[in-house]
């Protein structure tokens, strides 16, 4: 499904969240009133929530702040702006990660940033899909080249998690934690996630596409498609909206310096900070690996960023991969 010029125009008119009458919309767009109604109805396919009230007209349930490269750039620090080689905003993509993986094959440079208003096939970890309604959340991917192969960037996703928490904290949001390896959590509910996809040689140059999804506002209909406990920033903040452009700019300010330094110092500079955000440590958990489920108490991460599980027989086991959940017992 594409976003037509007509839909884009309607969205721009309705972005203020105010009522607009059918005849006025029809007039501006140069179409019939029934065509306006049809276009509005189609907006639900983008995950939007148009509301019709007789005598008043149409409005969106929530206003939309469109992503804007000018607004994002106005937030960037000078040294960060220098490290961004391209910043593209798309109305619709299958997945911002896929888009950058393809660009990486065509020699795109480190610091290429891709954002989308809507992902038709947003990807989560472990083959899951990432619910990506239009204009509501942040779907961001960033390309970075490394010289020394994937092994040199192990633990990168943990450092990226630190950058997300720093960005949220600098906007005044506290109480947000990290769930190993790189889920953004608030009170046992998922607020965001990180998906890093690496292509290239085992011991040579590689390209990492770092994808970050952050929930700003999840419409009810989309929420029904999420199969785990979730939360968004609007709900955390009691209905107050946060500027997506400011958040993206702040996130890039935190993320770019970490990427630029990662091959020099690795995870070590971020370990203590990561541990201070660890929302699993001390909790009874289950780690799933393939078919097996192992229970124990979360024992934090080791110096390589591996997950430590303290089992009932007092042993500590370390895991490089797996899916950890809070245990219900
Ligand atoms: C997870 O499962 O926790 C990872 C979610 C990552 C979602 C983001 S949204 C931007 C980027 N593009 C994608 O298709 N996925 C990532």
Longest alpha-carbon distance in the chain: 73
Closest listed residue to residue 315, CA positions, set 288, 294, 329: 294
- Nearest partner of 168 among 125, 111, 217, 214, judged by Cα: 214
Q: Please tell me if the CB atom of residue 57 comes closer than 6 angstroms to any atom of ligand 1.
A: no
180 close to ligand 1 (CB < 6 Angstrom)? no
Q: Cβ(110) to ligand 1 under 6 A?
A: no
pLDDT score for 1: 59
181 cis-preceded (ω within 30 degrees of 0)? yes
190 ligand 1 Cβ < 6 A? no
**Closest-lying ligand 1 atom to the alpha carbon of residue 123:** 14
Calculate ∠ Cα 55-58-60, nearest 5°. Answer: 145
| CA dihedral (141, 143, 146, 149) positive or negative | positive
Q: What distance in angstroms lies between residue 109's CA and the mean position of ligand 1's atoms? A: 21
What is the rounded distance in angstroms from the CA atom of residue 218 to the CA atom of residue 133? Answer: 8
Give the pLDDT score at 150: 82
How many Å apart are CA 227 and CA 239, to the nearest integer? Answer: 23
**Which position has the token pair 């046992």?**
188
* Mean predicted lDDT score pLDDT of the chain: 94
Distance CA(186)–CA(154), nearest Å, equals 25
Ligand 1 pocket test target in 99, 104, 122, 226 with most atoms within 8 Å of CB: 122
pLDDT tier, 86 (very low <50, low <70, confident <90, very high otherwise): very high
The closest alpha carbon to 248, from 212, 277, 224, 219, belongs to 212
For 168-224, how does the pLDDT look when each residue is reduced to its tens digit (9 = 90+)?
Answer: 999 999 999 999 999 999 999 999 999 999 998 878 899 999 999 999 999 988 999
The 10 Å Cβ neighbour count of residue 136 is 25
Between 42 and 304, where is the model more confident?
A: 304
* pLDDT (0 to 100) of residue 329: 62
Residue nearest to atom 11 of ligand 1 (CA): 211
What pLDDT is attached to residue 149?
79
Burial of 279-314, coded b for 16+ CB within 10 Å and e otherwise, reads bbbeeebbbeeeeeeeebbbbbbeeebbbbbbeeee
For the stretch 229-256, pLDDT in tens is 999 999 999 988 899 999 999 999 999 9
CA angle 115, 118, 123 (to 5 degrees): 80
Q: Is 96 in the pocket of ligand 1 (CB under 6 A)?
A: yes
The CA-CA-CA angle for residues 133, 134, 135, to 5°, reads: 120
185 lines ligand 1 (CB under 6 A): no
Nearest atom of ligand 1 to the alpha carbon of 183: 3
Where residue 297 falls among pLDDT bands split at 50, 70, 90? Answer: very high
φ and ψ at residue 55, rounded to 5 degrees: 85, -15
Given a contact cutoff of 8 angstroms between Cβ atoms, the answer to whether 129 and 121 are in contact is yes
Between residues 329 and 104, the one the model is more confident about: 104
122 lines ligand 1 (CB under 6 A): yes
- Could you tell me which residues are beta bridge partners of residue 179? 183
- pLDDT, average across residues 309-328: 90
Q: How long, in residues, is the chain?
A: 329
First to last CA, the chain: 44
- Nearest ligand 1 atom, CA 97: 12
How open is the CA angle 302-303-304, to the nearest 5 degrees? Answer: 90
């Amino acid at each position: 499904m594409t976003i037509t010029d007509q839909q884009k125009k309607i969205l721009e008119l309705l972005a203020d969240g105010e009522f607009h009458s059918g005849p006025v919309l029809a007039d501006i767009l140069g179409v019939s009133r029934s065509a306006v109604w049809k276009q509005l109805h189609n907006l639900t396919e983008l995950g939007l929530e148009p509301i019709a009230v007789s005598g008043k007209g149409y409005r969106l349930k929530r206003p939309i702040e469109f992503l804007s490269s000018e607004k994002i750039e106005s937030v960037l620090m000078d040294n960060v702006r220098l490290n961004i080689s391209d910043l593209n905003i798309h109305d619709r993509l299958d997945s911002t990660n896929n888009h950058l993986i393809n660009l990486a094959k065509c020699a795109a440079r480190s610091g290429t940033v891709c954002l989308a208003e809507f992902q038709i096939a947003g990807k989560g970890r472990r083959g899951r899909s990432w619910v990506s309604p239009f204009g509501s959340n942040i779907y961001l991917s960033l390309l970075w080249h490394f010289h020394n192969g994937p092994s040199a960037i192990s633990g990168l996703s943990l450092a990226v998690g630190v950058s997300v928490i720093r960005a949220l904290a600098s906007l005044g949001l506290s109480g947000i934690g990290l769930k190993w390896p790189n889920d953004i959590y608030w009170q046992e509910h998922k607020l965001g996630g990180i998906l890093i996809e690496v292509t290239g040689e085992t011991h040579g140059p590689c390209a990492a596409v770092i994808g970050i999804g952050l929930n700003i506002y999840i419409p009810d209909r989309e929420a029904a498609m999420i199969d785990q406990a979730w939360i968004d920033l609007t709900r955390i903040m009691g209905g107050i909206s946060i500027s997506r452009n400011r958040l993206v700019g702040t996130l890039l300010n935190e993320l770019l310096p970490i990427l630029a330094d990662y091959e020099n110092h690795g995870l070590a500079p971020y370990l203590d900070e990561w541990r201070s955000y660890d929302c699993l440590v001390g909790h009874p958990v289950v780690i799933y690996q393939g078919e097996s489920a192992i229970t124990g108490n979360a024992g934090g991460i080791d110096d390589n960023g591996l997950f430590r599980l303290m089992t009932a027989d007092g042993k500590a086991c370390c895991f490089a991969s797996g899916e950890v959940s809070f245990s219900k017992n």
